[in-house]
Amino acid sequence: MTAALDIVATGMVTAVGLDAPSSCAALRARLDGFKETQYADDEGEWLLGSPVTMPRKWIGQKRMTHMLAAAISEICTAVPQARERTPMLLCLPEASRPGSPVQDASAFLRNVCAILEMAVDPRSRTISHGRPSGLVALEQARRLLAEGGTSAVIVAGVDSYLTPEAIGFYLANRRLLATNNPNGFIPGEAAAAVLCTHAGHGSGLRLHGLGLARENAYIYNEADEPLRGDGLTTAYRHALKEAGIEMNQLGFRISDLIGEQYWFKQTALASLRLVRGAHDFQDLWSPGESLGNIGAAAVPVMIGMAFAAARKGYAAGNPVLIEASEDSGACGAAIFAARAA
């Protein structure tokens, strides 16, 4: 049993802004937060990263806690009722990922609530699937809304690749953009949150379709199995079928592209396999152009981008498809349409 779902408020903490309005304005202007880090590549050159400028020099899990609390606080300021018995679905890095900045998910949830001075709702959960976590959270959010007992759900995500262990691992696996590797990503960090409510609660974005799938030819398995984009194509199909539209009826897409060729190929294949008939130009946006790889924060950030674009009238079309994938093949897509005020 599921229910329609509306997005009514957003919050962000990124390398280009410490709230959603400033972050979205910077993303729209194609500004970036890239700067030299304290980490060097194999040639001795400083690696680029996209760190958040924090008021204090917090590190590790404490840093992530304060970043996420700030993003959630922003939506609670916009909608004060969100502080009252609202389940939180926290999107976190993959549990097995080297150098994850969140080591204890349950303690992390409690600490975020403590900073916000909110009770831990027993329906709150942590979702540790990296970049697609927010899409899994949307599925869980609409189930919670359908079950009753709550009129809103907070979906929030936080992540950072700027840890010594993560840098060492991805550098060794030739995944980072470096002097001797143009096919890599820039490590970033961010936090973002969106407030989900029952459909019909005013202007904003409405979720019309959602699809989750898995790609067998994932990035570490591409040499053994040719990439056809089967996983993302399946996710697209499910989302489009639920929304009752065809691929050529999409206005634009927002993707979690992080800079490596693999992800561009996957997105292109999924689109080419499904688009039929004449259609207008479909723009493709990505927060990665400005923020690098922000992991589990990607989906809430992309929803925030679509929300701001719809509110301010600069969206590249309607509806919008938001997609995300992660290294072990999990992927998904969601279709949102803007609602008039």
Per residue in 131-185, pLDDT (tens digit) is 999 999 999 999 999 998 899 999 999 999 999 999 999 999 999 999 999 999 9
Q: What is the pLDDT of residue 1?
A: 42
Diameter of the chain by CA atoms?
A: 57
| Residue 86, both tokens | 């609202």
Q: Which is more confident, 262 or 282?
A: 262
Contacts of 55 by beta carbon, 8 Å cutoff, 6+ apart: none
CA-only gyration radius of the chain, Å: 19
The predicted-structure confidence for 73-130, as pLDDT tens digits, reads as follows: 999 999 999 998 899 999 999 988 999 999 899 999 999 999 999 999 999 999 999 9
pLDDT at position 341 over 60: no
Q: Residue 251: which region, alpha, beta or left (left: phi > 0; alpha: psi -120 to 50)?
A: alpha
Q: What angle do CA 12, 208, 256 make, to 5 degrees?
A: 40
What percent of the chain lies above the pLDDT cut of 90?
Answer: 86
Contact call for residues 159 and 190 (beta carbons, < 8 A)? yes
What confidence category does residue 223 fall into, taking pLDDT thresholds of 50, 70 and 90? low
The predicted-structure confidence for 178-212, as pLDDT tens digits, reads as follows: 999 999 999 999 999 999 998 775 567 999 999 99
Average per-residue pLDDT in the chain?
93
Q: Is 18 helix (H, G, I), strand (E, B) or coil?
A: coil
Q: What is the pLDDT of residue 278?
A: 64
Whose structure tokens read 């699809």?
A: 211
pTM attached to this predicted model: 0.96
Q: Average pLDDT for residues 279-284, to the nearest whole number?
A: 82
Contact call for residues 134 and 155 (beta carbons, < 8 A)? yes
Contact call for residues 125 and 100 (beta carbons, < 8 A)? no
Contacts of 182 by beta carbon, 8 Å cutoff, 6+ apart: none
Dist CA 224 CA 31 (whole Å): 38
